[in-house]
């Protein structure tokens, strides 16, 4: 208890002193910590599919206790308790019975940090209350879905000194971390443009056919957004790595964006043509507002442009669309072509290096985190990236470290949701980003992966 209080006081003073302290050497270079990490207690709010996935990873750490979980769904709670048991951890105290039961979990003085894995509309109130209760908040993506919500996260972090780590696991994507090393080594010359996105087809998941349109439905909360909004609702898996490449809010910032949405036909045709659907299925008659593809272009203060695509509703393989273009060459990752071209270095002019030649670049620039922890990451979710994210969270909470992905990242990256919605509504009008750092972006320096 004393330790917990000291830890929270320490977090408060380092954060209040100005954008926190750097991460530990072990975290930065991917070395095993020389001493055992201090014990730490972490609560999980929302133990649905993502919450249980992260709980499973947390439970692998000897120094992590998970004394409390919260959900409104009894089945999810039972599955979370089983997951704890399977990992050799004690049953957690359960907080349930209403949407605000999580506040009682936050009253527990022994909890140092919380992971928030609930529907999007709960992210801001839960993270705000967690920070106000002095907990280290780990918040799932997107952090907020309104500009006011983005500001609230930043303001409460600054007022309380409590930290928030934005749980954007795709920042730990192996290829994009290697590209970050290449950029820092000057391989591409000056970076000028990037593409990224989230293209994850729902076709085959049946979620739109089974959707009952009320809150008893497990896809209710997501489908409410697709029914009522037209925006890039999931921008951070794409923009996270690109923001690190371009030093966003660390010497550079997003200036404005413009977005356009296609018509919305994918859901309608999927339901209409499905053997369990058909034209008379009630869901085929709903007016889904979400366009099939939303394309956004961001302009940065350093002059780069970034194209982000958001697509859920057409049949296609998964992609995050990462490419990077610079004055000396370009890279196109696993989702696009697995190719690299460097002027004056690649053997054939105007021709991609692919196959073994491509692999050699990726090997040479592989980030130390991946080099040192490939085996540990192997069975973690999403190709290993979840391992690195949870590892960083555990290290940060237990050692009072400022997070590698912070509240300003959370706000600037998540702001794309409401800004893209506004731009689409305004006929693709340019919409300007708030400066969530209040001018500090000029003096803040890059830290991710350094
Ligand atoms: N980073 C990633 O790769 C990744 C992957 C999947 C989901 N996510 C994010 O994780 C979050 C959860 O997604 P999911 O797929 O697990 O959804 P889910 O619907 O499976 O789980 C959400 C859980 O929150 C619970 N819940 C709802 N309201 C609550 C409240 N007021 N108090 C306590 N619990 C409440 C629900 O009962 C449910 O169990 C979302 O923000 C999503 O965007 C991130």
Please indicate, yes or no, if residue 24 is contained in any of the structural domains.
Answer: yes
pLDDT in tens, 253-273: 999 999 999 999 999 999 999
Q: State whether 24 and 136 are in the same domain.
A: yes
Q: Show which of 116, 139, 170 is a domain's final residue.
A: 170
Please indicate, yes or no, if residue 345 is contained in any of the structural domains.
Answer: yes
Q: What spacing in Å lies between the alpha carbon of 96 and ligand 1's midpoint? A: 15
Q: Is the CB of 166 under 6 A from ligand 1?
A: no
Over residues 333-353, the mean pLDDT reads 96
- Torsion angles phi and psi, residue 60, rounded to 5: -80, -15
Q: State whether 429 and 292 are in the same domain.
A: yes
CB atoms within 10 A of CB 111: 23
Q: Is the CB of 223 under 6 A from ligand 1?
A: no
Ligand 1, residues 45, 119, 165: which to mutate, most atoms within 8 A of Cβ? 119
Q: Is the CB of 99 under 6 A from ligand 1?
A: yes
In the predicted structure, residue 116 carries a pLDDT above the cut 80: yes
In the predicted structure, residue 101 carries a pLDDT above the cut 70: yes
Domain at 144, CATH number: 3.40.50.720
Handedness of CA 198, 200, 202, 207 (dihedral sign): negative
Please indicate, yes or no, if residue 401 is contained in any of the structural domains.
Answer: no
Smallest CA-to-CA distance from 408 within 434, 389, 382, 371 is with 434
Q: State whether 121 and 235 are in the same domain.
A: no
Smallest CA-to-CA distance from 66 within 77, 165, 97 is with 77
Residue-wise over 178-198: b if at least 16 C-beta within 10 A, else e?
A: bbbbbbeeebbeebbbbbbbb
CB atoms within 10 A of CB 176: 26
Q: State whether 142 and 236 are in the same domain.
A: no
Q: State whether 191 and 205 are in the same domain.
A: yes
Atom of ligand 1 nearest to the CA of 118: 24
Residue nearest atom 33 of ligand 1, based on CA coordinates: 71
- Predicted confidence at residue 370, as pLDDT, reads 96
Q: What is the DSSP string of 165-200?
A: EE--GGGG-HHHHHHHHHHHTTTTSSEEEEEEEEE-
**DSSP secondary-structure letter at 44?**
E
In the predicted structure, residue 141 carries a pLDDT above the cut 50: yes
Quote the pTM value.
0.94
- Predicted confidence at residue 209, as pLDDT, reads 85
Instruction: For residue 240, give the 3-state DSSP assignment.
Output: helix
Residue scoring higher pLDDT (168 or 209): 168
Please indicate, yes or no, if residue 387 is contained in any of the structural domains.
Answer: no
Q: How confident is the model at residue 216 (pLDDT cuts 50, 70, 90)?
A: low
Atom of ligand 1 nearest to the CA of 218: 19
In the predicted structure, residue 437 carries a pLDDT above the cut 50: yes
Residues 6+ away with beta carbon under 8 Å from 436: 150, 151, 154, 249, 408, 411, 412, 415
Ligand 1, residues 47, 140, 241, 320: which to mutate, most atoms within 8 A of Cβ? 140
Q: State whether 253 and 279 are in the same domain.
A: yes
Q: Is the CB of 235 under 6 A from ligand 1?
A: no
Please indicate, yes or no, if residue 378 is contained in any of the structural domains.
Answer: no
Q: Is the CB of 45 under 6 A from ligand 1?
A: yes
Over residues 41-59, the mean pLDDT reads 97
Q: Show which of 129, 151, 170 is a domain's final residue.
A: 170
CA atoms within 13 A on the CB side of 346: 22
Least confident of 122-126, 206-210, 336-340: 206-210
Q: State whether 195 and 298 are in the same domain.
A: yes
Torsion of CA 51, 377, 177, 324, to 10 degrees: -70
Which helix or strand (DSSP H or E) is residue 258 part of?
Answer: strand 254-261
Between β-strands 68-70 and 93-95, what pairing exists: parallel, antiparallel or unpaired? parallel
Please indicate, yes or no, if residue 398 is contained in any of the structural domains.
Answer: no
Please indicate, yes or no, if residue 73 is contained in any of the structural domains.
Answer: yes
Alpha carbon distance 43, 397 (integer Å) = 12
Residue nearest atom 30 of ligand 1, based on CA coordinates: 99
Q: State whether 162 and 176 are in the same domain.
A: no
Q: State whether 115 and 257 are in the same domain.
A: no
Please indicate, yes or no, if residue 385 is contained in any of the structural domains.
Answer: no
Q: State whether 151 and 186 are in the same domain.
A: no
Q: Is the CB of 46 under 6 A from ligand 1?
A: yes
Q: Is the link from the previous residue into 142 a cis peptide, with omega within 30 of 0?
A: yes
Q: Is the CB of 72 under 6 A from ligand 1?
A: yes
Average pLDDT, the chain: 91
Q: State whether 288 and 149 are in the same domain.
A: no
User: And the tokens for 387?
Assistant: 């391992």
Q: Show which of 170, 199, 227 is a domain's final residue.
A: 170
* Number of domains forming the structure of the chain: 2
Q: How confident is the model at residue 218 (pLDDT cuts 50, 70, 90)?
A: low
Q: Is the CB of 122 under 6 A from ligand 1?
A: yes
State which residues form the domain around 81: 2-170
Q: State whether 223 and 360 are in the same domain.
A: yes
Domain at 297, CATH number: 3.30.360.10
Q: Is the CB of 200 under 6 A from ligand 1?
A: no
Q: Is the CB of 381 under 6 A from ligand 1?
A: no
């Amino acid at each position: 208890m004393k330790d917990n209080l000291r830890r929270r006081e320490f977090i408060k003073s380092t954060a209040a002193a100005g954008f926190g302290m750097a991460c530990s050497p072990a975290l930065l270079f991917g070395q095993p910590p020389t001493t055992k990490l201090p014990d730490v207690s972490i609560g999980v709010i929302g133990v649905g599919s993502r919450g249980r996935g992260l709980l499973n990873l947390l439970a692998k750490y000897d120094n992590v206790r998970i004394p409390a979980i919260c959900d409104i769904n009894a089945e999810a709670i039972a599955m979370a308790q089983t997951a704890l048991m399977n990992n050799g951890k004690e049953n957690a105290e359960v907080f349930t019975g209403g949407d605000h039961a999580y506040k009682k979990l936050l009253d527990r003085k022994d909890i140092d940090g919380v992971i928030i894995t609930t529907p999007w509309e709960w992210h801001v109130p839960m993270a705000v209350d967690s920070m106000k209760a002095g907990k280290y908040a780990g918040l799932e993506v997107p952090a907020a879905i309104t500009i006011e919500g983005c500001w609230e996260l930043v303001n409460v972090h600054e007022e309380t000194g409590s930290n928030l780590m934005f749980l954007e696991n795709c920042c730990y994507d192996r290829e994009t971390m290697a590209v970050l090393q290449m950029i820092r080594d000057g391989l591409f010359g000056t970076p000028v443009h990037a593409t990224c996105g989230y293209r994850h087809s729902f076709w085959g998941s049946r979620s739109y056919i089974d959707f009952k349109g009320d809150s008893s439905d497990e896809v209710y909360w997501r489908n409410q957004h697709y029914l009522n909004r037209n925006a890039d609702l999931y921008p951070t898996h794409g923009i996270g790595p690109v923001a690190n490449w371009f030093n966003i809010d660390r010497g550079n910032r997003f200036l404005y964006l413009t977005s356009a949405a296609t018509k919305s036909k994918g859901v309608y045709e999927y339901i209409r043509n499905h053997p369990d659907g058909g034209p008379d299925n009630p869901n085929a008659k709903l007016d889904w507002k979400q366009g099939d593809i939303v394309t956004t272009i961001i302009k940065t203060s350093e002059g780069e442009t970034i194209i982000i695509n958001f697509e859920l509703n057409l049949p296609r393989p998964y992609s995050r669309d990462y490419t990077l273009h610079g004055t000396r060459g370009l890279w196109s990752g696993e989702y696009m072509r697995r190719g690299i071209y460097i002027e004056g270095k690649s053997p054939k002019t105007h021709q991609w290096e692919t196959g073994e030649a491509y692999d050699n670049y990726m090997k040479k620039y592989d980030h130390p985190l991946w080099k040192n922890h490939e085996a540990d990451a192997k069975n973690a979710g999403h190709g290993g990236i979840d391992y690195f994210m949870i590892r960083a969270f555990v290290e940060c909470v237990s050692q009072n470290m400022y997070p590698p992905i912070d509240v300003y990242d959370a706000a600037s990256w998540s702001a794309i949701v409401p800004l893209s919605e506004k731009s689409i509504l305004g006929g693709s009008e340019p919409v300007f980003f708030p400066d969530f750092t209040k001018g500090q972006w000029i003096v803040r320096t890059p830290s991710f992966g350094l």
